[in-house]
């Protein structure tokens, strides 16, 4: 493709994107295709000769778009958001155009130094301690894995990297029953073994029980295990519970355990001074991750990983083959040493675009509004006799269920599952669910970039109507 045609299609694609954002609410939020449908529409073999880019664009519209779930729709209330924004998308286009491999400072000094500065900005914006240093990772899962590996290396005096886990002793990790599956995955990948992740019970509000944590650690020590890392969560995936950092941190300090905080979703709320209560006890934290690619309008992927002892992180990951030796080594940040992959995308650029475009106050007002919308929805649910609020709402996520009086839990579960599928099949909104104490719970997240009070109220109206309709249709007797 020559530059003339690149220019022509580039303009068309930007026009396509602008129109997409303007008309996004016309698409069914959740894709309606059946398994295998998209693949069947794709030729089994690649073209041998060049094809027109017009055909690519036609197939994008006709084959791909029907199989897309529209995460950027303001009617997307599912999972946690992967929200984006126009400045982020534009900067991402530039990142793709540069195609820079930002593994070390020399392979693009601007990428390394912008990343360094962006992490300082984020640290300042979230009120994190000045001795935290940061790096952008692809995902919270990778950042948590990096934390587990660093904790493992530190406790084994950096021997497990060279000698393997034989030298490590019987290391243990602790996290609440509500912690994200990435902690368990990390425990396996980092060689602890998934069975050595000890799941700590939660309190009534689904936050980790510090008393139970202490007991588990002390029992383990008596049994000859070596406690290595505790992971607390700011905003658990199920109900957005906020674990108490101070109570957990005090135990970690006393027992000399690495303390990692998974703030994948909730960390963004630290932009708001009124939400900084979540960071009480941060002085005990060794590492923390949060995802601008979830709730800070920066398109996937972009995870901000902070660590207090950057030297320990680097020592755990650095490796220096001949071809990566440079004259600047030791004088600059070579971010390949700060995580798992060698190759790194220029992610700081979109973060820079987002922060400059909205300004800190702009970001704060959007995040604050999302929290207000969740509180408003929680109020509406509480006021409705046949609905139950199933967990506290500290952030942007509301957990609830339709619970007609006198119905057994088992039937109520089936009823809510059916309501969820019926709502999602309409294509008008998209909600997902979780399980709380064995109860099927609907989850609605009010954190999409374009979500407004009107969207939330409309969705709530639909939920109420759908709940009564499903109940009337299937009766209280036979909900399948
Ligand atoms: C609390 C929590 N931690 C970690 C993750 C994983 O995030 P990522 O996709 O960036 O690995 C999620 C995903 O939703 C999450 O909710």
Chain centroid offset of residue 85 CA: 16
User: Rounded to an integer, what distance in angstroms lies between the CA atom of residue 445 and that of residue 81?
Assistant: 8
What's the 182 CA to ligand 1 centre distance in angstroms? Answer: 7
User: Rounded to an integer, what distance in angstroms lies between the CA atom of residue 30 and that of residue 91?
Assistant: 27
Contact by Cβ (8 Å): 299, 82: yes
Instruction: Give the containing element (helix H, strand E) for 270.
Output: none
Ligand 1, residue 236: give the atom nearest the CA.
1
Ligand 1, residue 263: give the atom nearest the CA.
1
Give Cα separations from 109 to 112, 121, 205, 358, 392 (angstroms). 5, 18, 46, 26, 45
When pLDDT is averaged across residues 283-295 and rounded to a whole number, the result is 98
For 121, what's the count of Cα atoms within 13 Å in the CB-facing half-sphere?
17
Q: What pLDDT sits at residue 323?
A: 84
pTM: 0.95
User: Rounded to an integer, what distance in angstroms lies between the CA atom of residue 68 and that of residue 242?
Assistant: 32
What's the 104 CA to ligand 1 centre distance in angstroms? Answer: 27
For ligand 1, atom 9, the nearest C-alpha belongs to 139
When pLDDT is averaged across residues 426-449 and rounded to a whole number, the result is 97
When pLDDT is averaged across residues 119-130 and rounded to a whole number, the result is 98
Q: Which of 83, 182, 186, 260 is the pocket-test mutation for ligand 1 (most atoms within 8 Å of CB)?
A: 182
Ligand 1, residue 235: give the atom nearest the CA.
1
User: Rounded to an integer, what distance in angstroms lies between the CA atom of residue 432 and that of residue 80?
Assistant: 9
What's the 283 CA to ligand 1 centre distance in angstroms? Answer: 23
User: Rounded to an integer, what distance in angstroms lies between the CA atom of residue 216 and that of residue 222?
Assistant: 10
Q: Dihedral sign, CA of 364, 370, 375, 380?
A: positive
Ligand 1, residue 144: give the atom nearest the CA.
4
Q: What is the pLDDT of residues 200-221, one digit of tens each?
A: 999 999 999 999 999 999 999 9
Which class for 351: exposed (0-12), middle (13-18), buried (19 or more C-beta within 10 A)? Answer: buried
User: Rounded to an integer, what distance in angstroms lies between the CA atom of residue 299 and that of residue 41?
Assistant: 28
First to last CA, the chain: 55
User: Rounded to an integer, what distance in angstroms lies between the CA atom of residue 207 and that of residue 243?
Assistant: 5
Mean pLDDT computed over every residue of the chain = 96
User: Rounded to an integer, what distance in angstroms lies between the CA atom of residue 468 and that of residue 219?
Assistant: 50
What's the 158 CA to ligand 1 centre distance in angstroms? Answer: 28
User: Rounded to an integer, what distance in angstroms lies between the CA atom of residue 3 and that of residue 135?
Assistant: 35
| DSSP string for residues in 363-430 | HHHHHHHHHHHHHHHHHHHHHSTTEEE-S--SSSEEEEEE--TT--HHHHHHHHHHHHHHHHHHSS-B
User: Rounded to an integer, what distance in angstroms lies between the CA atom of residue 386 and that of residue 383?
Assistant: 9
Contact by Cβ (8 Å): 451, 85: no
Ligand 1, residue 293: give the atom nearest the CA.
10
What's the 181 CA to ligand 1 centre distance in angstroms? Answer: 8
pLDDT at 385 over 70: yes
What's the 304 CA to ligand 1 centre distance in angstroms? Answer: 12
Q: What pLDDT sits at residue 477?
A: 47
Q: 186-199 burial, b if ≥16 CB within 10 A, otherwise e?
A: bbeebbbeeebbbb
For ligand 1, atom 7, the nearest C-alpha belongs to 140
What's the 294 CA to ligand 1 centre distance in angstroms? Answer: 9
Contact by Cβ (8 Å): 336, 104: yes
For ligand 1, atom 16, the nearest C-alpha belongs to 237
Q: What pLDDT sits at residue 106?
A: 93
What's the 471 CA to ligand 1 centre distance in angstroms? Answer: 34
Q: What pLDDT sits at residue 167?
A: 77
Q: What pLDDT sits at residue 322?
A: 87
Q: What is the pLDDT of residues 355-384, one digit of tens each?
A: 999 999 999 999 999 999 999 999 999 999
What's the 141 CA to ligand 1 centre distance in angstroms? Answer: 6
Chain centroid offset of residue 196 CA: 24
Q: What pLDDT sits at residue 325?
A: 86
Rg (CA), the chain: 24
What's the 82 CA to ligand 1 centre distance in angstroms? Answer: 10
Q: What is the pLDDT of residues 69-87, one digit of tens each?
A: 999 999 999 999 999 999 9
Ligand 1: list residues with CB < 6 Å: 80, 139-141, 180, 182, 233, 236-237, 262, 264-265, 291, 303
Q: Which of 260, 291, 394 is the pocket-test mutation for ligand 1 (most atoms within 8 Å of CB)?
A: 291
pLDDT at 387 over 90: yes
Ligand 1, residue 139: give the atom nearest the CA.
10
Q: Which of 264, 341, 347 is the pocket-test mutation for ligand 1 (most atoms within 8 Å of CB)?
A: 264
User: Rounded to an integer, what distance in angstroms lies between the CA atom of residue 11 and that of residue 4?
Assistant: 11
Q: What percent of the chain has pLDDT over 90?
A: 94
Q: Model confidence at 53, in pLDDT bands (50, 70, 90)?
A: very high
Ligand 1, residue 179: give the atom nearest the CA.
1
Which class for 475: exposed (0-12), middle (13-18), buried (19 or more C-beta within 10 A)? Answer: exposed
Q: Which of 78, 79, 140 is the pocket-test mutation for ligand 1 (most atoms within 8 Å of CB)?
A: 140
What's the 200 CA to ligand 1 centre distance in angstroms? Answer: 19
When pLDDT is averaged across residues 14-26 and rounded to a whole number, the result is 97
pLDDT at 9 over 90: yes
What's the 139 CA to ligand 1 centre distance in angstroms? Answer: 7
């Amino acid at each position: 493709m020559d530059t003339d045609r690149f220019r022509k299609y580039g303009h068309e694609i930007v026009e396509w994107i602008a129109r997409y954002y303007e008309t996004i609410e016309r698409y069914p939020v959740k894709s309606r295709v059946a398994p295998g449908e998209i693949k069947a529409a794709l030729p089994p073999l690649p073209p041998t000769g060049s094809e027109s880019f017009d055909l690519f664009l036609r197939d994008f519209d006709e084959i791909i778009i029907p199989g897309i779930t529209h995460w950027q729709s303001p009617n997307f209330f599912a999972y946690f958001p992967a929200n984006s924004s126009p400045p982020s998308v534009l900067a991402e286009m530039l990142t793709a155009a540069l195609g820079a491999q930002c593994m070390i400072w020399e392979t693009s000094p601007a990428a390394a130094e912008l990343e360094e500065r962006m992490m300082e900005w984020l640290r300042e914006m979230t009120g994190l301690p000045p001795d935290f240093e940061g790096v952008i990772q692809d995902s919270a899962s990778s950042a948590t894995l990096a934390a587990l590996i660093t904790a493992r290396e530190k406790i084994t005096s950096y021997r497990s990297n060279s000698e393997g886990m034989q030298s490590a002793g019987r290391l243990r990790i602790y996290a609440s029953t509500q912690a994200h599956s990435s902690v368990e995955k990390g425990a396996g990948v980092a060689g602890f073994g998934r069975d050595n992740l000890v799941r700590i019970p939660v309190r009534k509000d689904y936050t980790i029980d510090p008393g139970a944590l202490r007991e588990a650690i002390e029992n383990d020590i008596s049994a000859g295990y070596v406690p290595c890392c505790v992971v607390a969560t700011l905003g658990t995936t199920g109900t957005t519970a906020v674990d108490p950092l101070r109570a957990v941190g005090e135990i970690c300090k006393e027992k000399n355990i690495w303390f990692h905080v998974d703030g994948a979703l909730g960390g963004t709320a630290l932009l708001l001074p009124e939400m900084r209560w979540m960071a009480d006890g941060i002085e005990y934290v060794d590492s923390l991750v949060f995802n601008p690619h979830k709730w800070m309008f920066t398109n996937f992927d972009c995870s901000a990983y902070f660590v207090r002892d950057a030297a320990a992180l680097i020592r755990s990951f650095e490796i220096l083959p001949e071809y990566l030796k440079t004259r600047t080594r030791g004088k600059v940040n070579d971010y390949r040493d700060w995580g798992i992959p060698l190759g790194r995308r220029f992610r700081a650029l979109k973060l820079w675009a987002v922060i400059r475009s909205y300004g800190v106050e702009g970001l704060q007002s959007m995040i604050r509004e999302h929290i207000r919308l969740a509180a408003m929805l929680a109020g509406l649910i509480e006021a409705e006799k046949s609905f139950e609020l199933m967990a506290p709402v500290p952030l942007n996520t509301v957990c609830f269920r339709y619970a007609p009086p006198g119905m057994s839990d088992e039937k109520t579960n089936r009823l809510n599952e059916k309501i969820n599928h019926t709502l999602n099949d309409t294509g008008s909104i998209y909600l997902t669910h979780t399980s709380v104490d064995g109860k099927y719970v609907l989850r609605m997240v009010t954190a999409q970039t374009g979500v407004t009070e009107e969207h939330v109220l409309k969705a709530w109206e639909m939920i109420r109507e759908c709940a009564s309709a499903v109940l009337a249709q299937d009766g209280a007797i036979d909900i399948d």
